[in-house]
Amino acid sequence: MRYVSQLFQPIISIPKNAKIKNTEITCKSQKLLLECGLVRPTAAGLFTLLPLARRALDKLEALVQKHIESTGAQRISFPALASESLWERSGRLAGGGPELMTVKDRHDKKYLLAPTHEESIADLLADVGPLSYKQLPLLLYQIGNKYRDEHRPKHGLLRAREFRMLDAYGAHAAADCAREQYERVTGAYRRLFDVLQLNVHRVEAPTGEMGGSLSHEWQCVAGAGEDAVDVCLSCSHARLADPSERDAERRCQCGGTLRRGNSVEVGHTFILGTKYSEPLRATFTPASGAPQPVVMSCYGIGITRLLAASVEALSTEQSITWPRAIAPFNTIVIGPKEGSKEWISHGWEGVKQMAHSIEEVQQEEVLVDDRHSLTIGKRLMMADKMGYPTIVVCGKHSAESPPRYEVLHRSPPNSTSPHQSPPSTTLLTHSELLHSLADNGRQERIPVL
């Protein structure tokens, strides 16, 4: 178990009714992550992830990895630096713009801090190729830091210069094979976002500088989003919003009304065709005939952006709400105030035993608020702001026979109830509490496949 008193969590306390003058704080997720001691800015668009944010990100990365590997993907790691010559050969260097970060080594060779690795994967396949058609389809992925020299980084982790990203790359013998794999991978995307309890829409999008024949953005509905989507109230079809359209033109093909909302792009997927394989000579040998360029696809998820988008989409202005799957701690136990009659009857050892029994049921670490000099109310208010999904309070009822514990469960809003509701509160005995937590755990273990 872990103790609140030992956490490195530099909380920023803002007096009640105080006006925030820092104009750099531009959205809810940025404000909450900073105030709650989860992130710390180091420069414009650059952030240190503190221990609780790192725990949440580790959980999110494990979840992303689990879902992408359910499609048969294999993990690799590319260097962050990519040779400029590869981007010249693909034709993307000239169109990359000022967002590309470049460096030179001591031999005056030029490199990019690659924001994506299409050229690198094509070069790898060319280096080991030609592949046999029997080796296809092939899906390789990595999770690592990416860099983009944003002209105006803002909204905290939603638009940063350094960010964590999943990027996966498919190699196929034909376009129809690429489309089949595309649907498998995007199906895994849908299951991932369902586990995170996020309202994310797959919408057709321009292929842009990436090129290819097909592109979809994955847009998470959130108030601070810089994009917007139109969603049909009848058939749930979604599309990227066209700002030039008048309200009268915003009708779905089914005849239903389209509702517009701000959104954050948390993923992007493409069928690339041979845009990169041809110039970089990534080929395969078919059953008969000469080698042919592989047909490529690619799949990205901005993991740190997805973390921030989850907070942005689900939280209130006053407190964080986490998807339970990625909360830094799922459960916090708040013991009685030192010197109270509950403290005398329950004691510090009783609080630790309670936390240990919960750990055995949930099979993960429990956080214990051991700051016994503070009132239960003060600690409860702080735990609520942090958004821990389950709060167990050893309050006045813990001195009863049998002892009962106040249990608060926080659930994210959903499509049928889009507004945040207060945590549900119940009084449970020790055995009832463990049974309840075990049931919740079984219900929340959504299968990947």
> Which is more confidently placed, 223 or 414?
223
3-state secondary structure of 210: helix
Kindly tell me if the per-residue pLDDT of 357 is higher than 60. yes
Tell which residue, 136, 164, 156, 130, has the closest CA to residue 301: 164
Is beta strand 110-113 parallel, antiparallel or unpaired with respect to 101-104?
antiparallel
- Domain of 408 in residue numbering reads as 329-444
DSSP 8-state symbol, 443 = H
Residues 354, 395, single domain; the answer is: yes
Same domain, 108 and 225: yes
Residue 400 banded pLDDT, cuts 50, 70, 90: confident
| Same domain flag for 224 and 250 | yes
Type of residue found at 69: E
CA distance 34 to 49: 10
Indicate whether 170 pLDDT > 50.
yes
pLDDT-derived band of residue 401, with 50, 70 and 90 as boundaries? confident
Q: Residue 20: is its pLDDT beyond 60? A: no
Residues 109 and 85 in one domain: yes
> Is position 412 within any domain?
yes
Give kind and range of the element (H or E) at residue 279.
helix 277-280
Does one domain contain both 307 and 351? Answer: no
Q: How far apart are CA 220 and CA 443, in angstroms?
A: 24
CA dist 67 and 160 (Å) reads: 25
Given pLDDT bands bounded at 50, 70 and 90, which one contains residue 73? very high
Torsion angle defined by CA atoms of residues 233, 237, 240 and 245, in that order, rounded to the nearest 10 degrees? -50
| Percentage with pLDDT > 90 across the chain | 79
Overall average pLDDT of the 218-222 stretch: 97
Whether 448 shows a pLDDT value over 60: the answer reads no
Q: Are residues 149 and 285 in the same domain?
A: yes
Is position 426 within any domain?
yes
Cβ atoms < 10 Å from Cβ of 190: 13
**Closest among 155, 143, 116, 154 to 28, alpha carbons compared:** 155
- In this structure, are 348 and 292 located in the same domain? no
Res 426 pLDDT > 60: yes
Residue 21 has what pLDDT?
Answer: 55
Specify whether 365 is located in the same domain as 296.
no
Look at residue 399 in the predicted model and tell me its pLDDT. 83
Rg (CA), the chain: 25
pLDDT tops 70 at residue 71:
yes
Last residue of a domain, one of 264, 289, 314: 314
301 neighbors 248 (Cβ within 8 angstroms) = no
Structure tokens at 59: 């959980």
Supply the CATH number for residue 215's domain. Answer: 3.30.930.10
pLDDT at 2: 96
- Which of the pair, 98 or 307, is modelled with greater confidence? 307
Helix (H) or strand (E) holding 126: helix 118-128
Domain count, the chain: 2
Contact (Cβ atoms closer than 8 angstroms) between residue 313 and residue 420: no
**Statement: residue 446 has pLDDT above 70:** no
CATH of the domain at 359: 3.40.50.800
How many CB atoms lie under 10 A from the CB of residue 103?
11
Asked whether residue 115 falls in the same domain as residue 161, the answer is yes
Confirm whether 319 is domain-assigned.
no
Answer with the residue of higher pLDDT: 94 or 300: 300
Per-residue pLDDT tens digits for 148-162: 998 889 899 999 999
Residues in the chain: 449
Q: Mean pLDDT throughout 258-282? A: 97
Question: Could you tell me if residue 438 is inside a domain?
Answer: yes
- For the stretch 200-212, pLDDT in tens is 999 999 999 899 9
Domain assignment of residue 324, yes or no: no
pTM, two decimals, is 0.93
Instruction: Tell me, yes or no, whether 320 lies in a domain.
Output: no
Average pLDDT in the chain: 91
Domain endpoint, select from 260, 283, 314: 314
Confidence of residue 249 (pLDDT cuts 50, 70, 90): confident
DSSP 8-state class, residue 44: T
Task: Give the pLDDT band of residue 443 (cuts 50, 70, 90).
Answer: low
Arithmetic mean of pLDDT, 27-43: 96
Q: Which residues have CB under 8 Å from 341's CB, separation 6+?
A: 399
From 9-23, 182-196, 250-264, 271-285, the region with the lowest mean pLDDT: 9-23
The amino acid at residue 244 is: S
Query: Which amino acid type is present at position 6?
Result: Q
Q: d(Cα 169, Cα 222) in Å, to the nearest integer?
A: 28
> Which of residues 314, 337, 363 is at a domain's end?
314
Flag whether 39 is in a domain: yes
Asked if residue 273 and residue 343 are part of one domain, the reply reads no
Closest to 391 in 3D by CA, of 445, 448, 322, 443: 322
Q: Give the distance from CA 183 to its chain's centroid.
A: 21
Do 302 and 360 fall within a single domain? no
* Mean predicted confidence (pLDDT) in 32-61: 97
Residue predicted with more confidence, 425 or 56 = 56
Q: Is residue 295 part of a domain?
A: yes
Residues 98 and 210 in one domain: yes
303-314 helix and 28-35 helix, angle to the nearest 10 degrees: 100
